[in-house]
């Protein structure tokens, strides 16, 4: 089962994928750079996956409540495994690791890294047959939630190594020989990294300059280039490096090929040019890595030439799910802080938690934390099911939890006032509780950026949400489709939408009932009804803007935010009902109801903003600023950088 993804199978799938995607996206009116970037990205998409996707159906106006009921839970055996590991990890952190010192010195002590390795934490997701712990995604995220609640730098060390570093892509795509050689190293504490980003290449793989050329004798590749923001790179024993290989002729075009390689960190020719210093997670080893004539054995090619971006996207689908767990841990920590401070701090004769404004902040933090947890555990359980496609759900989870966690921490700092802004070490030095709100704020800010910024997540979701429509209308959308094919496409389009579109107005949601959710049933009904409204809105905007819709990123963003909020409402209700039935989580339904009422108000506002917004005015103002017409607003300031 483990080695079912053979390179030759993936080659065939890729060729089929290329043919299919050539039919969907029309790049004839785009400039060369944009067309190349889009074509590479399209060929990396896994469009052949026919597994169920809750989010994919939601965007098409189909609310599959059966995927949420009952809410998934761990077996007693699986829970015991997680409980036992957490019973080791949490005391170890509390008794041995000083996160403030880690932040101050930018160093995770060697003895701490050794202790983590001794517990097997660098092999949490490595299968047992390769001497790993073989944890499920749920148990892995339980551990990561605990670590992230305490020290962000330590959490990123483990997450970058395990979620996107070598273990995950090797487990998904590696050959038997590659797995046998490298996976056992991680139980011994070997650290891995993932090298994709370059100084001029973020979300545009077509411009990648790192190259891997096959040697004359065909025994190895020669790797040359430079990578930026390679987390764990400076200390990595082994890493996955993305590079361009020999271009491939696809029809009349020469297509760049992005390939993935397993590269040993101590190989001659690898140099750490610079270690980056960040606002938060300051102890992570992240830097600029130079590869100069690095010899990589041919057998270290992962999957096959040209499959690197496909590998990267597949890895990130699951890798992104560590971030929701981290956000859940940090948000739980914030809830604990405001509860204690809200009872202790007295102003104007009563605890600040009793003031109307204080209660408002506390309830916001509580309902946000609950919703973050619901999404985290739902997507974690789904990630452990091979019969589901979670691309959309993972992106929505990453988008929602990272943005909401930032708001939670910001609210916590405001609630703590000056003590929230003051560093924990300073608080401790003068005898106060050293709550690390200031450090948590610095550490959490990166979460909306790494592994796909919030903006990229919205564009990714938009592409996936529109995919069913693009497949139906592809031949009509393309400029150079022969007339006969356009007529056939028109008939196909009319046939499909003659049934689909009316069903988005008149459907079962009008009289649906979700009695099993009791007090929360109305929120499920709202998701059902509103999913059809969302599907209509996506369709209407595609018809209105046609090929120009991809430039309307604010419109797309609002549509994707609506879908994400609907997903969160559904997850939150199902999670609350599950906890209620278990009987050990008082007020779970009340918290969920509170979240849903606020979320519904946000969704209603997003729909209104689709029609009434200031996007055009904002765009014109930005254009004037970029053209230098408003430089008078930059006068009388001390200048950074070269004078213009």
The reply to whether CATH 3.40.50.970 applies to domain 320-452 is no
The DSSP secondary structure of 492-504, one letter per residue, reads: HHHHHHHHHHHHT
pLDDT for res 13: 35
Cβ atoms < 10 Å from Cβ of 502: 10
Give pLDDT tens digits for 64-96.
Answer: 999 999 999 999 999 999 999 999 999 999 999
User: In a 3-state reduction of DSSP, which class is residue 385?
Assistant: coil
Query: 289 forms bridges with which residues in the sheet?
Result: 227, 272
- Domain locations in the chain as residue ranges: 7-67+456-613, 76-317, 320-452
- Grouped pLDDT means (10 residues each) for the chain, 644 residues: 38 39 48 51 57 92 93 96 97 97 97 97 96 96 97 96 90 94 96 91 75 94 95 95 87 82 96 96 96 96 90 85 96 97 88 91 97 98 92 95 98 96 96 96 95 90 89 70 78 87 89 89 95 94 82 92 97 97 92 97 96 93 94 92 84
Classify residue 522 as exposed, middle or buried by CB count within 10 Å of its CB (0-12, 13-18, 19+).
Answer: middle
Q: What Å distances lie between residue 312 and 41, 111, 168, 241, 324, CA to CA? A: 11, 32, 10, 10, 19
**Which residues, 6+ apart, have CB-to-CB distance to 149 below 8 Å?**
329, 330, 332, 333
Burial status of residue 18 (CB atoms within 10 A of its CB: 0-12, 13-18, 19 or more): middle
Reduced to 3 states, what is the DSSP secondary structure of residue 166? coil
What pLDDT does 201 receive?
Answer: 73
- pTM value is 0.91
User: Which residues are known to be catalytic?
Assistant: 451
Report the distance separating Cα 294 and Cα 264, nearest Å: 10
> Residue 571: how many CA atoms within 13 Å on its side-chain side?
31
Q: Which residue has the tokens 């490096």?
A: 241
**Residues with Cβ within 8 Å of residue 266, at least 6 apart in sequence:** 237
Name the pairing type of β-strands 220-231 and 253-264: unpaired
Phi-psi region of 220 (alpha: psi -120 to 50; beta: other; left: phi over 0): beta
With contact defined as beta carbons under 8 Å apart, do 149 and 333 qualify? Answer: yes
Q: Count the neighbouring beta carbons within 10 Å of the beta carbon of residue 284.
A: 27
Domain 76-317 CATH assignment equals 3.40.710.10: no
Same topology, domains 76-317 and 320-452? Answer is no
- pLDDT, one tens digit per residue, over 231-271 is 999 999 999 999 999 888 777 777 888 999 999 999 999 99
Q: What is the Cα 480 distance to its own chain's centre?
A: 37
């Amino acid at each position: 089962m483990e080695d079912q993804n053979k390179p030759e199978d993936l080659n065939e799938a890729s060729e089929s994928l290329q043919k299919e995607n050539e039919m969907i996206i029309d790049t004839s009116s785009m400039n060369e750079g944009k067309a190349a970037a889009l074509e590479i990205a399209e060929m990396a998409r896994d469009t052949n996956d026919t597994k169920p996707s809750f989010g994919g159906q939601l965007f098409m106006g189909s609310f599959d409540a059966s995927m949420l009921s009952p809410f998934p839970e761990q077996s007693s055996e699986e829970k015991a495994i997680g409980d036992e590991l957490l019973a080791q990890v949490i005391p170890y952190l509390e008794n041995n690791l000083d996160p403030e010192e880690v932040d101050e010195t930018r160093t995770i002590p060697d003895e701490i890294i050794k202790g983590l390795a001794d517990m097997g934490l660098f092999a949490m997701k490595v299968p047992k047959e390769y001497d790993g712990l073989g944890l499920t995604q749920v148990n892995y995220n339980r551990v990561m939630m605990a670590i992230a609640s305490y020290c962000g730098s330590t959490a990123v060390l483990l997450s970058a190594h395990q979620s996107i570093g070598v273990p995950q892509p090797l487990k998904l795509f590696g050959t038997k020989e590659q797995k046998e050689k490298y996976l056992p190293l991680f139980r011994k504490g070997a650290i891995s990294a993932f090298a994709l980003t370059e100084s001029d290449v973020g979300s545009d793989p077509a411009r990648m300059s790192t190259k891997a050329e096959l040697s004359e004798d065909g025994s190895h590749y020669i790797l040359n280039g430079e990578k930026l923001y390679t987390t764990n790179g400076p200390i990595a024993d082994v890493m996955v490096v993305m590079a361009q290989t020999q271009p491939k002729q696809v029809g009349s075009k020469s297509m760049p090929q992005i390939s993935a390689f397993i590269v040993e960190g101590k190989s001659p020719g690898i140099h750490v040019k610079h270690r980056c210093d960040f606002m938060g997670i300051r102890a992570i080893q992240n830097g600029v890595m130079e590869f100069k004539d690095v010899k990589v054995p041919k057998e270290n090619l992962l999957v096959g030439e040209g499959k690197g971006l496909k590998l990267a996207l597949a890895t990130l689908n699951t890798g992104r799910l560590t971030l929701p767990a981290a956000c859940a841990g940090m948000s739980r920590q914030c809830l604990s802080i405001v509860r204690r401070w809200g009872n202790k701090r007295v102003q104007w004769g009563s605890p600040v938690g009793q003031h109307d404004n204080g209660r408002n902040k506390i309830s916001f933090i509580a309902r946000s934390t609950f919703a973050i947890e619901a999404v985290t555990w739902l997507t974690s359980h789904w990630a452990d099911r091979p019969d589901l496609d979670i691309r959309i759900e993972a992106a929505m989870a990453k988008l929602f939890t990272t943005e909401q966690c930032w708001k939670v921490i910001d609210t916590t700092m405001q609630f703590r006032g000056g003590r929230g802004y003051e560093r924990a070490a300073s608080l401790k030095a003068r005898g106060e509780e050293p709550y690390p709100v200031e450090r948590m704020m610095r550490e959490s800010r990166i979460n909306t950026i790494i592994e796909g910024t919030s903006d990229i997540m919205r564009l990714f979701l938009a592409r996936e949400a529109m995919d069913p429509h693009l497949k139906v209308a592809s031949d009509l959308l393309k400029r150079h489709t022969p007339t006969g094919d356009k007529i056939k496409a028109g008939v196909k389009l009319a046939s499909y939408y003659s049934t689909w579109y009316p069903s988005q107005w008149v459907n079962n949601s009008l009289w649906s009932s979700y009695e099993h959710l009791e007090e929360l049933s109305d929120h499920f009904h709202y998701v059902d009804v509103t999913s059809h409204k969302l599907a209509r809105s996506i369709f209407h905007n595609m018809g209105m803007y046609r090929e120009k819709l991809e430039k309307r990123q604010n419109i797309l963003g609002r549509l994707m935010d609506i879908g994400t909020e609907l997903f969160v409402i559904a997850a939150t209700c199902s999670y609350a009902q599950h906890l209620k039935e278990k009987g050990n989580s008082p007020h779970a339904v009340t918290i969920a109801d509170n979240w849903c009422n606020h979320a519904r108000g946000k969704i209603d506002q997003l729909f209104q903003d689709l029609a009434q917004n200031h996007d055009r005015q904002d765009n014109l103002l930005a254009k004037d600023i970029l053209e230098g017409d408003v430089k008078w607003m930059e006068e009388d300031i001390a200048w950074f950088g070269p004078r213009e």
